[in-house]
Structure 1
Amino acid sequence: MAIVKATDQNFSDETTSGLVLADFWAPWCGPCKMIAPVLEELDAELADKVKIVKIDVDENQETAGKYGVMSIPTLILFKDGEPVDKVIGFQPKEALAELVNKHA
């Protein structure tokens, strides 16, 4: 499954069912650029367990505000539309895989 780009308009649709890891990011953010390839690897390895969506906080401030995103990257794990876990800052692939597996 490919990583999905979400917006304020489609975010709730994209996170409504199953396990979804939402990456709140911005193009100018260094740690966001560092975590992007980690998310690509995670998507390739755990596509059967989790869907990954990316949402640009500069273009989608409503959703970022709704979930209290103050620092980026912020990754929020949703299960059937409800946030169940959250990590802030760069995370190694192993830590993200553990986060997903904890809720799978």
Structure 2
Amino acid sequence: MKQMSDRNELTDIIYFSSSVLVYFYTPLCGTCDLARQFIEMAETAAADKVEVYEMDINLMKQLVSDYKIESVPCLVRFEGGEAVSRIQAFESVTNVYNFLMNSYARSE
């Protein structure tokens, strides 16, 4: 995952990528740490077909409000600047992998 801390850079990625995944978290969230591990394992299994950006919601509160991120951890797929799907229940690596691969399939 690529850490994002600049609002303009993240906004550009969200608006100008055909499909992009952004993982929203907070550093002190234990569930977020587990979700990150699931995402990293799923990314590895996806063999570089997907790239996930991550953002600490404490750094960009307005962006969190704009995209209606109500709880963390949250993984959102954006298309053309719009949030089109999200996952907040990180039940298993398989669940996260399927979400990533569905996102990849839709972006092709």
Please tell me the TM-score bracket, short chain as reference: 0.7 to 0.9
SS of the residue aligned with 1:58? coil
User: So what's the TM-score if we normalise by structure 1?
Assistant: 0.82
1:49, distance to aligned residue in structure 2 (A): 2.5
- Partner in structure 1 of residue 94 of structure 2: 94
- Please report how far the alpha carbon of residue 70 of structure 1 lies from its aligned counterpart in structure 2 after TM superposition: 1.3
Q: 1:46 to 1:55 in 2, by over 3 A?
A: same
Kindly indicate whether the alpha-carbon contact (under 8 Å) linking 1:32 and 1:90 is maintained by their aligned counterparts in 2.
Answer: no
2:17 aligned with 1:17, yes or no? yes
- The alpha carbon displacement at 1:18 in A equals 4.0
Counterpart amino acid of 2:26?
Answer: A
Q: Answer yes or no: is 1:45 the counterpart of 2:16.
A: no
The answer as to whether partners of 1:19 and 1:49 remain within 8 angstroms in 2 is no
8 Å CA contact 2:23, 2:73 repeated in 1: yes
Distance 1:52 1:46, change over 3 A: same
Q: Aligned partners of 1:55, 1:98: CA distance in 2, in Å?
A: 22
1:86 alignment partner AA: R
Number of aligned residue pairs: give it.
102
Partner deviation per Cα, 1:5-32 (whole Å, 9 max, x = no partner): 1232211223332432211100011110
8-17 or 29-38: which moved more? 8-17
CA gap of 1:82–1:49, structure 2 versus 1, over 3 A, is farther
CA RMSD in angstroms comes to 1.8
Cross-structure match for 1:35: 35
**Structure 1 unmatched runs, 5+:** none
Separation (CA, whole Å) in 2 of partners of 1:82 and 1:47 = 26
C-alpha deviations, 1:53-101, integer Å up to 9, x for none?
1000011112111110111011101234432211114342211221222
- Structure with the largest fraction of helix: 2
Aligned pair partner of 2:4 in 3, 6, 22: 6
